[in-house]
């Protein structure tokens, strides 16, 4: 297969790459191109090649909250590395590349003595993905600390979106679908390290007590507020329900676990069984939080 990205420096291209290796679900077919991008100029060049060749593309962070179909992705899957995984801070202002893992950002902020994101502890994924999906827990969300978001828009123009132009809702924000988040400015508050560390431990303990182990994409359905998706699924008697290698967790019903080399189709069939049962018994439509690609 011809490498359409040949000649671009600052990238690594993998052809027909298995997406199982790049997602927390460990499910999915192959990507036509899997492109690791290490700096901003390379990202712009890759985007221009994609447009020139009318190629589908998708940006992934840590590969959480996503399910690739068994047929794979007939386009380019882009992963931001290198400079996109760096954090710079000036007092309470933290400039994070979109590829920075949430875990690494929390460690960085804690070492600097700044708090305000302890509630994100234990959430897998990257800062860019967290902003796009307005990640949160324990009554808080990342929208509370975001001040600016840097993007490349669909016309390959670098833009800065200030907080007053960002509209955050439950597990979403108004950043255009075709835009690529490149960096995020987060403002935190000075706080004693011991206090920050204590809060992180408390949140992690609660999270690990409730959440199951195993390969998953995290909470599968959005909570249809004021209800809990997990509670609705449990009350419908669906814990432990299995299709192929996909199982509804017995520990937390809003987790679908890849328990035995599940196929994407197993997960999708199980998702539909859950939706149909909850709708029939509770009269509530569940909406997936996990993106199905």
Q: Which residues are catalytic?
A: 171, 219, 289
Residues 6+ apart with CB under 8 A from 174: 166, 167, 168
Neighbours of 188 (CB within 10 A): 19
* CA separation for the pair 187, 11 (Å, rounded): 31
Query: CA-CA distance, 119 to 86, in Å (whole number)?
Result: 21
> In the numeric block, which tokens belong to residue 43?
């990202």
Q: 137 is written with which tokens?
A: 């827990």
* 3-state class (DSSP) for residue 261: coil
Residue 150 CA neighbour count, 13 Å, CB half = 13
- For residues 247 and 256, is the Cβ–Cβ distance under 8 A? yes
Please state, in angstroms and rounded to a whole number, the distance separating the CA atoms of residues 229 and 278.
9
Cβ(220)–Cβ(288) under 8 Å? Answer: yes
Q: Strand pairing of 66-67 and 11-18? A: unpaired
Contacts of 262 (CB under 8 A, 6+ apart): 25, 27, 244, 245, 246
Report the distance separating Cα 11 and Cα 5, nearest Å: 9
* Alpha-carbon distances of 113 from 106, 120, 133, 188, rounded to whole Å: 10, 16, 26, 10
């Amino acid at each position: 297969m011809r490498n359409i990205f040949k000649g671009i420096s600052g990238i690594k291209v993998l052809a027909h790459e298995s997406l199982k290796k790049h997602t927390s679900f460990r499910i999915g077919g192959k990507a036509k191109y899997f492109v690791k991008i290490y700096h901003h100029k390379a990202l712009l060049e890759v985007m221009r090649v994609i447009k020139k060749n009318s190629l589908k593309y998708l940006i992934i962070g840590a590969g959480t909250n996503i399910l690739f179909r068994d047929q794979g992705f007939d386009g380019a899957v882009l992963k931001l590395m290198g400079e996109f995984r760096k954090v710079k801070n000036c007092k309470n202002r933290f400039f994070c590349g979109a590829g920075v893992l949430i875990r690494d950002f929390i460690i960085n902020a804690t070492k600097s003595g700044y708090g305000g994101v302890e509630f994100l502890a234990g959430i897998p994924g990257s800062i860019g993905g967290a902003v796009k999906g307005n990640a949160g827990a324990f009554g808080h969300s990342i929208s509370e600390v975001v001040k600016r978001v840097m993007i490349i828009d669909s016309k390959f123009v670098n833009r800065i979106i200030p907080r007053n132009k960002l509209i955050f809702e439950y597990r979403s924000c108004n950043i255009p679908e075709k835009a690529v988040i490149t960096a995020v400015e987060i403002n935190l508050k000075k706080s004693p390290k011991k206090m920050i560390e204590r809060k992180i431990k408390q949140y992690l303990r609660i999270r690990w007590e409730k959440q199951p182990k195993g390969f998953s994409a995290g909470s599968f359905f959005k909570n249809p507020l004021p209800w809990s998706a997990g509670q609705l699924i449990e009350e419908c008697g669906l814990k432990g329900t299995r299709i192929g290698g996909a199982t509804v967790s017995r520990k937390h019903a809003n987790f679908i676990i890849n328990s035995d080399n599940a196929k994407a189709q197993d997960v999708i069939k199980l998702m539909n069984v859950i939706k149909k049962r909850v709708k029939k018994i509770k009269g509530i439509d569940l909406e997936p939080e996990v993106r199905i690609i």
